Structure 1
Amino acid sequence: MAKKGNQITGLSIRYKITIIIVLLVLFTLSSVGIFVSINFRNALTAQAQEYLLKIADQKATEYQLAFERISDEVAAMVNYATDVFAREGIVEDFEMGEVLMPWTGSGYGSPELERQLHYEILIMQRVGVVLKPFIANNPHLSLGYLGTENGVSIFSDVEATKTIGQLQGYIVNKRPWYLLAKDTGTVVWTEPYVDANTKELVVTCAAPVYKKDRSVAGVIGFDVLLATIQEDILSLDIGYNSTAFLVDSYGKVLVRPGMTRENVRWDETYNTTDLLTSENLEFRDLVEEMVNGVTSIGTYTAEDEVKYLSFAPLKSIGASLGIVASRSEVVKPATRIQYAIMLIIGIVFIIAVIIGLFIGNNLTKPIKELTMVTDLMSQGKMNLDLLPETRTDELGVLIQSINRMVSSLKIALSRR
């Protein structure tokens, strides 16, 4: 039996070998895994940023072209209406139902007003004939109209005339689009407001019509239903759990998903959200870049989540399109790769432990046998079996030497 003093008091060679193998494997795999994960995450981030910026710029260009077309069509209608207002000798009455007479306080029009404004009505009828195809041929437009300083209106749709004619107190030259165009004297885009016809949110492109003496004859207006743009924005298959929105040059929201008129009436002011008053400083800084007409992408934190905001300007209407995307969605493939790497490291760790124990046992078993033989020899016991000489490495040479020593000692003792 071995003495206590010959017992192992520290880690055995087997465990040391196992630990070394496991540490080497873990260090190698962890280094490679971290390198791959970081580079993959960075590549995904760069690719997503480039993609989001490209989509924002493309969509902004698409909307800009659409709004430019509307602005050009309004300008064309203004030129035609200006020409018609300058004509003399118009006598034919088209008897169009699209004309709405001025609000008198109790109703729309009167026989006396019809006599007074007869020539203006004839002019309006001719504008209405040309107005209809403009609206019919542009899918972004819901309604076109002309209102005059005398309060007469004509609409591109007779049903709109009937609907508005049922309202109390519709005064065309007091509507926000009319006043804005009259004050600026050029083609303008309004902030969102509640349409008197559809009772939905619209923005209007409007411009004044002048008489020969440069006094204002009226204002042409084309309506764009915000629901139409919302549907188009929501149909964008960008990915990354993204949403899109439009802001004007003052940072006020023109379009965003879920935007409704709430309980605001057609004759009340609709107050849209001002993003420049946001309490999120990071987001507010990005909105300031948007209203300054910059094309860029940045990040901000909201609800404990980092988000991307890519944006591009619509210079024709002084607006900007923004696309918000979740960074966690962007790097989700990299996160899955990380989990896969962790699983692989776990599996390789188990394999490394098994291999380490196998190698350790392969080395320590003959050492233990040699230790036992030499310990017995130190106790004077010479009736020992020779150890198997199956190894061909250094331990095999040592076993052969011990066997020769045991044989030599046996012969020496037998001669006494």
Structure 2
Amino acid sequence: MRIKIRSKITIIMLILIIISVTTLGFLTYDDSKEIVINQIKLSNYKTLQNVNDYFLKNFMYDMEYIINYWTSKDELKNYRNHANQPKMVTSIPKHFKPISDQWTGYASSSPDIAWIYLGVEEDGSIFITPIDSTMPDDYDCRTREWYQATVKNNNKIIWTEPYVDAGELGNVIVTVAKAVHKDDHLVGVLGMDIKLKKFSDIINDIQFGENGYLMLLSKNGDVYAHPDNKMLTKNISDKEWVKTILSNEQGTDIHTWNNEKVVISYLTVPNTQWKLVGVNPINIDKEVAPIKNRFISIGIFSMIITLIIGYFLSSIIINPVNNMMKVINQVSTHNDFNVRVKIKSKDEFKILGENFNNMIQKIRDLLEERNIHVQELVDKNKEILSQKEELLAYSEETEAMNEELLNLLDEVRKNYLSTVKVLANSIEANDKYTHGHCDRVRNYSISIAKELNMSQTKINVLEFASILHDIGKIGIPTSIINKEGKLTDEEFKLIQEHPQIGYNILKAVDFLEESRNILLQHHERIDGKGYPLQLKGDEINILAKILIVADAYDAMTSTRPYRKDPLTTEEAITQLQLGKGTQFDERIVDVFLDLLAKNEIAS
């Protein structure tokens, strides 16, 4: 299917804008995706901080307030066992009863408090409210972890890890405690046991995100609080994301848990080594979908604008060509030599049009002269037939006229050549690296043809083909022709179209019919791996084989955008020899190398 130049220009612009928009879209999409993810992570963490500050921390502050209040009271600071007072675990001494009664009120009003008690340093007694009769008689508070940890922390409040209480039904509890001092004397430790269930209730009552939830972990990875009761007290420290949480103070990251992507934020609860963890499922594709849709809309809009602009820009280039093609068709089809090309632009097309008009005028003048001479010849032939005796006299005159006709034909050929050179100049104006390339290829080709004793007619055909062999590059974007470095696959495919483009451009010019068939084949190879027709061996015209060698040699020994340093003559000769039988015809290469050695290249 024949594709018009207008369509090619529009398609090229469309491809360029698609590549640009797609590349920009991918890069920006990734950045936008990263920004959205970071915003989600930040929002998740801030929500977790709010939960900690306004719920968990407030509850713990209330409990610590009770502890601080009583450890500062003189009733506790001044407490001493009476003389001969036995060790007490399941009872309370009479002189401690007023304090115990107040504690009973606290415990009754707050079901989350299991016990309030004072562990006495003097003998290891513990005054617990409410009294727990199941406590073992040999209980010594001074041996318990909560007691020892509190004493080590001096005047600081401590929160213990959850543990099974020694009394009653063995509830899992958390102790908040602080040492009681009178000056430098350790009176004991005030402790308050809080049911672990309270922390689960606080966390489970909070809506974390749209579909998220909270959990509380110990420093060892035990689950203190979780919306799923089956998870309580379970150790999940073997999970990779849990290992990360336990080894850091705070943070947010995206992990895979239970086969779904989740945002996990965590922080360390103050005064403890517990980790408050927020888990929120995330659908990244859904979050960034609006951004992706916007880029698609921009891409579609850009393509529509490109099609419109491409249509109008292509008109600027195509109109001069169409004008010239109409005139060529008028001349070749109807032999109308009165028509003229009208081009308003001030570029190479204007020069081409002016030269073409000059050529038509000269051809017209030559034809008129020819008709006059033909008529004269007819008249003279009549005279010869009627006057046989004057035949010899007219013989010399006829010979002179024939010679003049040959001169006129030679003038026509020169005019053709002048037109062809103008076309060649338009090629070189489009390709800054190939100045003089067409003339050199012409000289090489003519030298080879003469060495092979070819007829002048074939040499003329080869000469025009050599000068115009790259005319098709007019249809290739200048940015690709002059691109420095390696071409992309897409760009190289466009370059491969220039023989066919050149053939199409010259299709309507009758006197270049044979020449355009030669230039169509000037990138074929003997092994059939060339383009555009993949011809091989004897399928390739002998004149095209000559042009292939001449073009390749000049390309190797000239500066090109993809190769700043040309090959030396010796290096180019080596490449020609290596290509014999695959890329080049062996006989043509041998003849050309012989001409180079003898320095017999035409100029």
For 1:215-230, list aligned pairs within 5 A: 220-223=192-195, 225-230=198-203
- Give the Cα separation in 1 of the matches to 2:201 and 2:245: 24
- Give the Cα separation in 1 of the matches to 2:95 and 2:28: 76
Q: Deviations over 1:268-310 (max 9, x none)?
A: xx961212133xx3x13213315xxx22334433355443433
1 or 2 for the larger relative contact order (CA 8 Å, sep ≥6)?
1
1:316 equivalent in alignment to 2:271: yes
Q: CA deviation at 1:377?
A: 1.7
- TM-score norm. by structure 1 comes to 0.59
Q: CA RMSD in A?
A: 5.1
How many equivalent pairs are there? 338
What amino acid maps onto 2:236 in structure 1?
Answer: L
Paired residue for 1:13?
A: 5
Paired residue for 2:101?
A: 128
- Give the Cα separation in 1 of the matches to 2:64 and 2:70: 10
| Pair 11,310 (structure 1): closer, same or farther in 2 beyond 3 Å | same
What amino acid maps onto 2:242 in structure 1?
Answer: R
Unaligned 5+ segments in structure 2 are 83-89, 119-123, 151-157, 181-185, 372-603
Helix, strand or coil for the counterpart of 2:299?
helix
| Pair 122,154 (structure 1): closer, same or farther in 2 beyond 3 Å | farther
| More helix as a share of residues | 2
For 1:13-412, list aligned pairs within 5 A: 13-56=5-48, 59-60=51-52, 63-64=56-57, 66-67=59-60, 69-71=62-64, 73-74=66-67, 76-77=69-70, 86=80, 120=93, 123-124=96-97, 126-132=99-105, 142-146=112-116, 154-155=129-130, 172-173=134-135, 182=144, 184-185=146-147, 186=150, 188-189=159-160, 191=162, 203-205=173-175, 220-223=192-195, 225-231=198-204, 234-236=206-208, 242-256=212-226, 258-260=227-229, 272-278=233-239, 281=240, 283-290=241-248, 294-326=249-281, 328-329=283-284, 333-360=287-314, 363-364=317-318, 366-379=320-333, 381-382=335-336, 389=342, 391-392=344-345, 394=347, 395=349
Helix, strand or coil for the counterpart of 2:201?
helix
Q: CA deviation at 1:22?
A: 1.1
What amino acid maps onto 2:234 in structure 1?
Answer: T
- TM-score norm. by structure 2 comes to 0.44
Paired residue for 1:6?
A: none
What amino acid maps onto 1:173 in structure 2?
Answer: M
Q: Percent identity?
A: 13
Q: CA deviation at 1:251?
A: 1.0
| More strand as a share of residues | 1
- Give the Cα separation in 1 of the matches to 2:172 and 2:351: 95
Q: CA deviation at 1:368?
A: 3.6
Q: CA deviation at 1:253?
A: 1.2
Q: CA deviation at 1:17?
A: 0.9
Q: Deviations over 1:291-338 (max 9, x none)?
A: xxx223344333554434332212423211223345645x75544212
What amino acid maps onto 2:9 in structure 1?
Answer: I
- Give the Cα separation in 2 of the matches to 1:75 and 1:181: 23
Q: Deviations over 1:359-398 (max 9, x none)?
A: 43554355244224314423562177667x5854545675
**8 A contact 1:60–1:320 mirrored in 2:** no
Helix, strand or coil for the counterpart of 1:364?
helix
- Give the Cα separation in 2 of the matches to 1:208 and 1:364: 93
Q: Deviations over 1:56-91 (max 9, x none)?
A: 456546645642552452465578685797587xxx
**8 A contact 2:146–2:175 mirrored in 1:** no
- Give the Cα separation in 2 of the matches to 1:23 and 1:365: 23
Q: CA deviation at 1:26?
A: 2.0
Q: CA deviation at 1:249?
A: 1.5
Q: Deviations over 1:201-256 (max 9, x none)?
A: 9743355999xxx9999974344613432245x2345x7x5433211121111122
Helix, strand or coil for the counterpart of 1:26?
helix
| Pair 351,390 (structure 1): closer, same or farther in 2 beyond 3 Å | same
Helix, strand or coil for the counterpart of 1:311?
strand
Unaligned 5+ segments in structure 1 are 1-8, 89-101, 103-116, 156-160, 162-169, 263-269
